[in-house]
Amino acid sequence: MARRKKAAPKRKSKWTPDNILSDPKSPLASADLRSVLANPLAWTSLSIQERRDVLCLFPDMAHTLDADTDDARPNFETLMNDDSFRYDCAAYVDNLAMGRHDAVWLEDAWSAHDRRKAGEFDEWLRDKFVEDWAVEPPDDSKKAKPEERRVQDGQGEGVDGQKRGDETESTLAGCQPQDEADNGDSNHCMGEDSHRIAIL
């Protein structure tokens, strides 16, 4: 009687939900993330609560079908033709490959981000402008203090009696609104928890 061959032990993957989103050698660091996210299984494998959490991160309902129902889902047809979605997927993969999802890197980046918003680098930036261009920056380029900027932009506590507080960091977790002051600079927030990307 022939002996049965033992099945080779199944190799355990070294990738976990944490390190696959933070390790520069992660398969996601070289993946076509847009195609991965557009795969129907990427959506149908989620629970209803997980789907709500994902949709909650969308900036608006323009790319959502059957919004506000249990059947709400991304409109992949329009998403795949959206330049912002294309850019964000590419930026996420690039930043992951460059180690910018590492917990220490993120902590340093958010610290620098907060210091920049507090005006700590304003003088250095002004001096750099003078050094590079050999001219004084225009008067209106001098930044107001953070609270003054929010009031001037119609976002401070003096506007409509609505107190916004000092929302200097956008986490996107729990669907907190992104601080509008970030929209014009080079700081990008993607993902949640430790997987946010902050670029000074």
Average pLDDT over residues 84-109: 92
Mean pLDDT of the chain: 75
Average pLDDT over residues 2-27: 80
Average pLDDT over residues 26-38: 91
pLDDT in tens, 168-180: 333 333 444 444 3
How far apart are alpha carbons 118 and 39 in whole angstroms? 42
pLDDT category, 199, cuts 50, 70, 90?
very low
Structure-model confidence comparison of residues 17 and 101, the more confident one: 101
How far apart are alpha carbons 198 and 189 in whole angstroms? 6
pLDDT reading at 109 higher than 50: yes
What is the reported pLDDT for 15?
87
Structural contact between residues 94 and 30, judged by C-beta atoms closer than 8 angstroms: no
pLDDT category, 159, cuts 50, 70, 90?
very low
Tokens coding 183: 């929209």
Nearest to 101 by CA among 32, 13, 188: 188
pLDDT reading at 21 higher than 60: yes
Average pLDDT over residues 155-160: 47
What is the reported pLDDT for 148?
58
pLDDT category, 187, cuts 50, 70, 90?
very low
**Amino acid making up residue 153:** D
pLDDT in tens, 44-69: 999 999 999 999 988 888 899 998 88
Average pLDDT over residues 28-51: 91
Calculate what percentage of the chain has a pLDDT beyond 90. 42
How far apart are alpha carbons 26 and 36 in whole angstroms? 14
What is the reported pLDDT for 70?
84
Structure-model confidence comparison of residues 143 and 135, the more confident one: 135
How far apart are alpha carbons 139 and 159 in whole angstroms? 25
What is the reported pLDDT for 32?
93
